Every structure is written in C-alpha cells, then in structure tokens.
Amino acid sequence: MLEDLYGRVVTNLRIAVTQRCNLRCIYCHREGEKDSGKEIDAERIAEIAKVFHELGVKKLKITGGEPLLRRDICEVISSLPEFEEVSMTTNGTLLSNRAMDLKESGLDRVNVSLDTLNAEKYRYITEKGELKAVLEGIESAVEAKLTPLKLNMVLMKGINEDEVFEMLEFANSFNKNETNVILQLIELIPNSKTARYYLNPEIFEEKFEKMAKAIKIRDMHRRKQFLTSLGVVEIVKPLDNSDFCRHCNRIRVTSDGKIKLCLMSEKTLDLSGLHGEELKRAIFEAVKLRKPFFT
Ligand code: SAM
C-alpha cells in the first residue's frame, strides 16, 4: 500500500500523456508542468502504471495537454493494467470521431472541459476553440457510454458565473433513465493574470446545499456532490487546505515520465532508467515525500 507520512493512502494516479494542446485556455495551469518537449511512449506509460496498480492504485486518469492529440492514445489505453476505473480529461474538441474507439480500447469515462455554452465566450476563453465540436464530442461520448461524463466548468467572475444553473440543466438534459452527465464546478486556481476572474464557489455551494435532495461526500478531497432537482453537481475546491489537501489520494506522472507529488508543488522525481524493483522503490520513496501543500 502506498501511504504517505500524513496517513493519506494513494489510490489515484493522474498521468499526463502530452503537453501539446490545440487550445490556449486563458487560465490553464498546464497540470503544473513545464514542457520538456519529451513524451514517454505507450510502453513506458504501461510499465509505470502497472507498478502503481500492483501497489494498490485503483483509478487512473489520463490528462495532458490534450490527450486526444496523441495518435497512439487508444494503444496507450489498451496497454494499461486492469484498474477499477480508467478515465480521461479532454477538451472534447476531437472526441466525436474517437469516442467509440476509446471505449473499445478500455476507457471507462471522460471529463470534458466546458466553461460556457456561449460560442463567443468559448472562443475568448480558449483563444480559438469551436464550441460546436465540443458539444458534438459530448454527444458521441454519451452514446459510446463513456459515462458518467463530468463537465468540468472552471468558475470565473464576470465570465461564466451567470451560467452555472444553465450548465447544470444542460448536463441534466442527458440524464433520461440514468445519470450520464454530472456538472463539476471547479474553483479557479488563479495566477497574476487571472486573479481578477477568481470567485469563491462557496456562494454556489450554499445554494446547492439548500436545493439538494441528497448530498454525497466523496473520499477524494472530501468533494461534495449535490443531487438537486436540476441535476447532479460536484464542487472542486483545490485551494481548500483542510479538505482538499488533507484528503488528497492522488499522485501524478508527467508527460516526460517523472513523478509529481502535487499539482501545486514544483517537486518532481525522475523515473527514467528505472525498471522493476528499482522503479517500485522510487515510487515508494516519492510517496513518503508527499505532504499536504498548505501545511
Ligand atoms: N486538455 C484537457 C482538458 O481540457 O480537459 C486536459 C488538461 S486540462 C489542464 C485539465 C483540467 O484542468 C481542465 O478541466 C481544466 O479546466 C482544469 N484547469 C486548468 N487550469 C485550471 C486552473 N487555473 N484552475 C482550475 N482548473 C484548471
């Protein structure tokens, strides 16, 4: 079992498979990576994932950059060991042609980043993205049963705060007999350029609390999921030191094959050249270095 010195057991692995992206979102943290220009191949991703799987990791999330820019993305997925869940975070622009292949390769579900339903705002946020392509991608993903699909909406003051309920209804429009689509409202991690867009999601949390028929608290980051008459919404508060950091069971691997202990920390450990027992030992050592970022 991978347990750090704060009693947090690592059960989730997030692997960035590329740093390349076809959008330029105004707020993007790039998963905290600096682009080295190197991408590990499908075989190496599988080798690293297998060791984490043997050490008790249950869920794997593929991210980027934009993971669908990798031509071998289906090979990456089909080479993975049998995790309880393999999911992907994507901007959805390239999803419509690939959803079925991804499902057949072994992908269980997707998160699609969608901050607005307004095409003009979408273009502003992403610099050049076409909303239509994302909406088609979401439909294809639901058809291919890459569900429950989560819509990742980063909350931004003056940009999309007026769309939260509309987005919840949009997500719910896919839920006929089962919950296929959930809204995930994400607190913006601001930097000097985006600080002006920061809005604490608590104001929505309070509203959802009043509206909710049921509230589920997830192990991961103690995230609250509200079941409301408008749909299901989960709130993600990465700046919340008490719950998010104290209950973080996630570790990261960068697109160039390094362990990254935390999104907010610069610290990485290079795994290159390590295999078998050596690789396992390096992962154990890395986990011992994890600490809640806000301590
Ligand atoms: N290209 C893929 C996508 O768009 O989903 C995967 C990479 S993207 C960095 C992963 C997720 O991080 C997206 O849902 C995005 O909205 C979120 N994200 C990026 N920058 C963020 C920030 N500054 N604050 C909060 N969430 C952020």
Domain boundaries, given as residue ranges, for the chain: 12-288
Phi, psi of 268 (to 5 degrees): -130, 155
To test ligand 1's pocket by mutation, which of 24, 35, 61, 89 has the most ligand atoms within 8 angstroms of CB?
89
Ligand 1 centre from 28 Cα, in Å?
6
Encoded amino acid at 187, one letter: E
Tens digits of pLDDT across the chain (295 residues): 899 999 999 999 999 999 999 999 999 998 888 888 899 999 999 999 999 999 999 999 999 999 999 999 999 999 999 999 999 999 999 999 999 999 999 999 999 999 999 999 999 999 989 999 999 999 999 999 999 999 999 999 999 999 999 999 999 999 988 989 999 999 999 999 999 999 999 999 999 999 999 999 988 778 899 999 999 999 999 887 677 888 899 999 999 999 999 888 888 999 999 999 999 999 999 999 998 876 6
Report pLDDT for 250. Answer: 94
Give how far Cα 172 sits from Cα of 106, 176, 231, 232, 233, Å.
Answer: 25, 8, 5, 7, 10
Report pLDDT for 135. Answer: 98
Does residue 181 line the site of ligand 1, with CB under 6 A? no
For the entire predicted model, the pTM comes to: 0.96
Give how far Cα 184 sits from Cα of 3, 113, 114, 123, 151, Å.
Answer: 28, 9, 10, 21, 6
Does residue 66 line the site of ligand 1, with CB under 6 A? yes
CATH code of the domain made up of 12-288: 3.20.20.70
Ligand 1 centre from 64 Cα, in Å?
9
Report pLDDT for 290. Answer: 92
CA distance 24 to 127: 6
Report pLDDT for 267. Answer: 87
Sign of CA dihedral 217, 223, 225, 226: positive
Ligand 1 centre from 275 Cα, in Å?
31
To test ligand 1's pocket by mutation, which of 14, 15, 28 has the most ligand atoms within 8 angstroms of CB?
28
Report pLDDT for 6. Answer: 93
Report pLDDT for 292. Answer: 85
Report pLDDT for 80. Answer: 98
Does residue 89 line the site of ligand 1, with CB under 6 A? yes
Q: For ligand 1, what atom is nearest to the CA of residue 27?
A: 23
**SS3 at position 280:** helix
Report pLDDT for 257. Answer: 97
Does residue 198 line the site of ligand 1, with CB under 6 A? no
Report pLDDT for 221. Answer: 77
Ligand 1 centre from 155 Cα, in Å?
12
Name the token pair of 92.
Answer: 């959805």
